[in-house]
Amino acid sequence: MDLDPRMTFDSFVVGPANRMAAAAAKRAAESPGKGYNPLFLYSDSGLGKSHILNAIAHHSDRYHPGGTVLYQPLELYLSELTDAMANGSEARLGARYQSLDLLLLDDVQFLEGQPEAQEMLLRLLDRITARGGQTVLASDRSPAEIDGLDSRLLNRFSGGLIVDIGPPDLETRTAILRRKAEERGAGLAEGVLASLAKAPFRNVRELQGALNRILVLQELEGRPISVEELPALIQGLPGVRVQVAEGRAPSRQPPAVPAWRRRLEAAAEAAEAEGIVATRLRRLLEHPREPSGWESALTDFETALDRIRQIRRELESLGNPWPEAAATLLRNPDRLDESEALLASARERARGFAPLPDGPGLERLGEDMPRLAVRAADRLLQAESPDYNPLFLHTPSQDRGRSFLAAVGRTHRSRNPEARIAFVSAAEFAEEFIDALARGVAGAWRERWWTVEVLLLYGIQELSMMERAQDEFFHLFEALKRRNSRIFLAADRLPSAFERVDNRLLSRFEGGLVVDLGEEARSRPEEAAESPRDTAPPRAASASAPLGRPGGGTPRPGGSASEEELELLRQLATVGAPDRGGDGDSGAPVGLRGSGEELEGVWRPSRERVVWDWPAVEEQIVEDYSDRGQAEWASKGR
């Protein structure tokens, strides 16, 4: 469709009712695919939608010469689609549209009752967006008011920006008339523009038609039209209900304006000056006689307007996390329910997390917790790029796991007072999610959790009965990992012992560091020093033993090991074995699983200082007395 060279942004008069539409349209033209996509404009007929679409195309050509731009009404698109389906050339038509940098579709309301066209348009939007292109659509009604519109298309439109263009206020109508008169190079008598702007035309197109009539008469008669002649000249034009007595010249005094019209007009103009759409009142003003129920309608409008102002103030106090959506909704009292929902979501997103219980930090846990667990937690908190994340702690006592995670949170809080820390049980996490679903704020609930810097979740085993909560936690886990947030988990069993838990979650639990938190307080060094020398030493975990369970071997200190070394050996032995076995020189510290990295400062016995007592006889052989073995020794000079 050919563009109208007169319809540019330079010739488009911007006022409160169309300011947002003009700004969004300019951004779509200057940065296609990077802002609001798709951009959906709607208004009653004659309020500037086609002008804006033409202006976008002209503006895009100026900013992106050589780009492919197409502007056409939906009817033409449907006609092309019908022909393509008839001759089997849908693929060729789809390829032509998909190659566009900017697609401008007018009169989208004709999608009503066209399921095949809706399906094709949905695919087209997806492909243009995937290429980085921009789509702008215009309609005489909002997407929600188009009967039979596919819910997927409705969601797609809602995911971009939907803007309502309202009727222009008095000042904007006057500016439009002045601009049009200047374009024609015509002069008008004093007061004509102001009087014409006050006439109750329904839209800009009718207003422009009235101006054209006056200018044509001036050209024919070679004289300016006076203010007194206006009522007779515009009598009978669409949108005007001026009564002129037959055979009489129009009165120089304007007819008295009824009280109902004055009040509605004043309320509409005040709202529009504030940037609020007053469509509800403007429709009442179209009535030639006093409409029934106008007073209650005016009261309802003013009540909605007051509530919108309250919502705007509260959103600003909450940081207004979605300014684009707010800017659209808070202009229209008819969308008050959506504004309330937006506020509820903003409240949910800004809601804080429960405070940590009082108690000690990691450094004051002392001997009550395994030293390996304390050091692992501290290292995960402090490392810029941690070697393991999450830290998974397992202990039969949920209180023990909860206490340890609380200490982790208090330690991080002491170092980072403003940090967002979530300390919660898996059951509470699931309950929060159910509540958010019930209140319709699940999206904001997710965004709130995605801001967490340290996640402390205990009772993980309870996720086994909650499939939907597992799925939510998986996506939360991935989001936090991408943000480099730190994740600490506690359960009453190993991940491998979980039942009915998504394998994606289990693999991520085991992909960090899994540590046994034990059940009772560890022995203190002084107690170990007082124990008899012949007391059986702690058993080390074999490479094949499950994490956190003693294996078959017993390390015996060979030499004068210090009491601190003995205590560390006890802790390491009870934690478990590394993922892969190896000799004493492997460098893998006992007690680490998953990362394969050694914790800084953790002591481990050397090969020379520990004798391993293996349960299998064949594994205890330290010298091979077979013929083959003796031959090998002889060849080596032994």
- Assess contact for 401 and 490: CB atoms under 8 A: yes
- Assess contact for 536 and 585: CB atoms under 8 A: no
Question: pLDDT tens for residues 540-550?
Answer: 333 323 333 33
Of 90-104, 172-186, 624-638, the range with the lowest mean pLDDT is: 624-638
* Bigger pLDDT: 587 vs 182: 182
| Rounded distance between C-alpha atoms, residue 637 and residue 631, angstroms | 10
How confident is the model at residue 35, as a pLDDT? 78
- What mean pLDDT is predicted for residues 255-271? 83
Closest CA to 400 of 433, 429, 444, 359: 359
User: Is 70 exceeded by the pLDDT of residue 529?
Assistant: no
Question: pLDDT tens for residues 108-140?
Answer: 888 887 888 888 888 888 888 888 899 999 998
Burial 455-489 (b: 16+ CB within 10 A, else e): bbbbbbbbbeebeebbebbeebbebbeeeebbbbb
Most confident of 92-101, 369-378, 565-574: 369-378
Q: Which two tokens stand for residue 638?
A: 């032994």
User: Is 70 exceeded by the pLDDT of residue 1?
Assistant: no
What domains are there in the chain, each with its CATH number?
19-164 (3.40.50.300), 170-255 (1.10.8.60), 260-350 (no CATH), 362-514 (3.40.50.300), 523-638 (no CATH)
Q: How far is CA 180 from the centre of its chain?
A: 43
Q: Does residue 488 sit in helix, strand or coil?
A: strand
Question: pLDDT tens for residues 78-87?
Answer: 888 888 878 8
| Rounded distance between C-alpha atoms, residue 285 and residue 280, angstroms | 9
Q: Model pTM greater than 0.85? A: no
- Assess contact for 13 and 173: CB atoms under 8 A: no
How confident is the model at residue 542, as a pLDDT? 30
- Assess contact for 448 and 432: CB atoms under 8 A: no
Q: Which residues pair with 487 in a beta bridge?
A: 455
Residues 6+ apart with CB under 8 A from 137: 38, 39, 40, 41, 104, 105, 106, 108, 157
How confident is the model at residue 581, as a pLDDT? 38
Q: Which H or E run includes 457? A: strand 454-458
Q: How many residues does the chain have?
A: 638
| Rounded distance between C-alpha atoms, residue 158 and residue 179, angstroms | 34
- Assess contact for 12 and 51: CB atoms under 8 A: yes
